[in-house]
Chain A
Amino acid sequence: MPPGRTPLIRRPPLARRPARAATGARALHALAHAVLALGAVFMILPMLWMLSTSFKPPPEIPLWPPHLLPQAPTLANYTGIFEAAPFGRFFLNSAGLSLAATVSVVVTSLLAGAVFGKYRFPGRSALFMLIISTAIVPFESYMIPLYIQLIPIGWINTYQGIALPFLIMSFGIFLVRQHVASAIPSELLEAARVDGATEWWILARVIAPLSGTALAAVGIFGFIQMWGAFLWPLLVANTQLLFNMEVGLTAFQFRFSSDYGKLMAGSVISVIPMLIIFLILRRRIIESVALTGLKG
């Protein structure tokens, strides 16, 4: 029993009970531990297998029985993949697109979140409801008209065309609105107004600095969403130069379906930025997911 948990039940009235309860609790504790550990092994195994394979030289890939660890670890797959396809370009595309989406999602969520959270104006609740309720419609349901819209303006096969659907996030607007409405006192804004501040100044100098945590969460989700995007970039990017990591990996996979050493190296490269973000911001990401119950 964890210390300081329950002073109430430390001394149960019955003399017989503690011993039996203690063995039961200990057995349960051991069982919980075993199940959790076993589950964790299963969760991490595919990733370790990917990592291990990425360091194997070609002759070791089809070894039977397979070795869990590479016998003669090599970096050849990591250098080879950049020669086999322009993965440097794919990586930079992914990074650039994701940064653009992050900036846009943060700015638009701040603008809309602040206005919906702290101001009253005609059409406020109708517009907010419209933005939130359309988030239910899956993107795959309206990607066809969006694609047709981009043809006449020449945005098919352009960076701006790939990034376009990821530039606003209903969930981000919702999150910032909740934060601004509940965590920033209206008196603060009033005080700034008395001092002669314009609303734009208040937005930039009062609301934005006080919304750091919400904006950070929104930015992280914006980045993750764009980085992992697949179907839309697959439709819009027709030349290899515009591929992001996800589309590039898939195309590479179809061409070199048996070269699993290089494929795993490419996969590791595509996972690493997310892994770094997650390990640094683990608590904030998990908390945001838990608080909102919404998927990035």
Chain B
Amino acid sequence: MPAQSMAAPRGRVSVWPARRRRHTLLFCYLALAPVLALFAYIRAFPIAWSVILSFHRWDLIGASKPFVGFANYVRLAGDGNFWLAVKNTTIYSLATVIASTLLALPLAVFLSGKTRLAALYQTIYFLPVITPMVPMAIAWKWIYDYNYGILNYALSLARLPSVAWLTDEKVALWALIIMSVWKVLGYNLILFLVGIRNIPDVYLEAASLDGATPWQRFRRVTFPLLRPIVLYVLVTATINSYNVFTQVYVMTLGSQAAPGHAVRVLVFDIYQNAFQYFHMGYASAEAVILTLIVLGFTLVQFGLVRGEEA
């Protein structure tokens, strides 16, 4: 609690003259000024303006930028590319989040039990989280390579036909999902691990004393106590994955010589409309939709947290 702060204890008010209070207040605003100025310029103002832009036909090229009401949104509703992007992004997010949670949870349970190699395992599993996306996307592109990729080699060992991981439209989205699960798994793992470590030992010991099997202990003790964290991770990870872009751009977009077709996700569609076709207003309408989706998940999260506390 920062309650007793600049106001001095009551008995000593006379020691702090009004001058001192003015000095302190001035300090507060002066110290905040550069931060607030930056914040306004790079976040608050652009957020507000993105909503305003979405109601204009605002092309980067062209002098007239008329107000068009909801026309951009109406056009979006009939835009096949937009709906494809929404669909792909949703499949991508849900699949990535569910798979990485289902994999991370048992790993966290196993990891919580051992102490000797725990640090090493934590390091290895967390490594992909900390490494930058572009080099890892390129590394995975090499793994997925149709002709010489190590994954197709592994398939050939099992006498399975080669798969065009990144160029077959039906497969590419799932190839991205696999890569992303690999990338975020360690993040979920750490959160679950902390949650499990926070469960008092006595609960599990009591269950052991009553003859509970390890599965029963997980099912009846660990999991129920971990539920809030699992819910939190599910929603946060979904929010974080809705703005997927880098992997898509690096892995599925072809070279200039042979233009490939990127898996259309929301941010890619925004990027293309705004910075390749220069329809800033139209792309802003899409951006507003992206914000609304994320906001919706955030509200769900607040609801869940409140439900857990009640």
List residues of chain A with CB under 8 Å of any chain B CB. 2, 5-6, 8-9, 12, 17, 24-25, 28-29, 32-33, 35-36, 39-40, 42-44, 46-47, 49-50, 53, 61-66, 108, 111-112, 114-121, 127, 130-131, 134, 136-149, 164-165, 167-168, 173, 180-181, 186, 190, 193-194, 198-200, 203, 224, 227-228, 230-231, 234-235, 245-246, 249-250, 253-255, 257, 260, 263-264, 266-268, 270-271, 274-275, 277-279, 282, 285-286, 289-290, 293, 295
Partner of A121, one of B29, B114, B142, B190: B29
Residues of chain A within 8 A of B53, CB atoms compared: 144-145, 148
Q: Is B160 on the interface with A (CB-CB < 8 A)?
A: no
Partner of B6, one of A119, A203, A227, A245: A119
Residues of chain A within 8 A of B171, CB atoms compared: none
Q: Is B64 on the interface with A (CB-CB < 8 A)?
A: no
| Top 9 A-B pairs, shortest CB-CB distance | A267-B135, A32-B110, A228-B132, A199-B27, A145-B49, A142-B46, A50-B139, A145-B46, A246-B134
Residues of chain A within 8 A of B250, CB atoms compared: 250, 253
Main secondary structure of the interface of B (DSSP, over half): helix
Residues of chain B within 8 A of A39, CB atoms compared: 103, 107, 125
Closest residue on chain B to residue A121 by CB atoms: B28
A33 to nearest B CB, angstroms? 7
List residues of chain B with CB under 8 Å of any chain A CB. 1-2, 4-9, 15-16, 20, 23-25, 27-29, 31-32, 34-36, 38-39, 41-47, 49-50, 53, 60, 103, 106-107, 110-111, 113-115, 117, 121-128, 130-136, 138-143, 145, 147-148, 150, 153, 182, 185-187, 190-191, 193-194, 201, 205, 208-209, 211, 213-214, 232, 236, 239-240, 242-243, 245-246, 249-250, 253-256, 267, 270-271, 274-275, 280, 283-284, 287-288, 290-291, 294-295, 298
How distant is the Cα of A9 from the Cα of B138 in the complex, in angstroms?
52
Partner of B131, one of A36, A42, A136, A274: A274
* Contact of A136 with B294 in the complex, beta carbons under 8 Å: yes
How distant is the Cα of A277 from the Cα of B16 in the complex, in angstroms?
46
Partner of A203, one of B31, B47, B113, B211: B31
Residues of chain B within 8 A of A114, CB atoms compared: 31
* Contact of A138 with B291 in the complex, beta carbons under 8 Å: yes
Given contacts A9-B209, A112-B32, A146-B42, contact A266 B110 (CB under 8 A): no
How distant is the Cα of A200 from the Cα of B240 in the complex, in angstroms?
38
Residues of chain B within 8 A of A146, CB atoms compared: 42, 46
Closest residue on chain A to residue B295 by CB atoms: A136
How distant is the Cα of A256 from the Cα of B185 in the complex, in angstroms?
31
* Contact of B135 with A266 in the complex, beta carbons under 8 Å: yes
Residues of chain B within 8 A of A194, CB atoms compared: 15
Residues of chain B within 8 A of A193, CB atoms compared: 8, 16, 20
* Contact of B44 with A130 in the complex, beta carbons under 8 Å: yes
Main secondary structure of the interface of A (DSSP, over half): helix
A48 to nearest B CB, angstroms? 10
Residues of chain B within 8 A of A285, CB atoms compared: 126, 130
Would you list 12 pairs from A and B whose C-beta atoms are within 8 A, ordered by A residue?
A6-B201, A8-B209, A50-B135, A137-B294, A140-B267, A145-B49, A190-B8, A227-B132, A228-B132, A230-B245, A249-B138, A278-B127
How distant is the Cα of A39 from the Cα of B188 in the complex, in angstroms?
14
Closest residue on chain B to residue A42 by CB atoms: B182
A170 to nearest B CB, angstroms? 8
A40 to nearest B CB, angstroms? 5
Closest residue on chain B to residue A177 by CB atoms: B2
A98 to nearest B CB, angstroms? 11
Closest residue on chain A to residue B6 by CB atoms: A119
B182 to nearest A CB, angstroms? 7
Residues of chain A within 8 A of B39, CB atoms compared: 131, 168
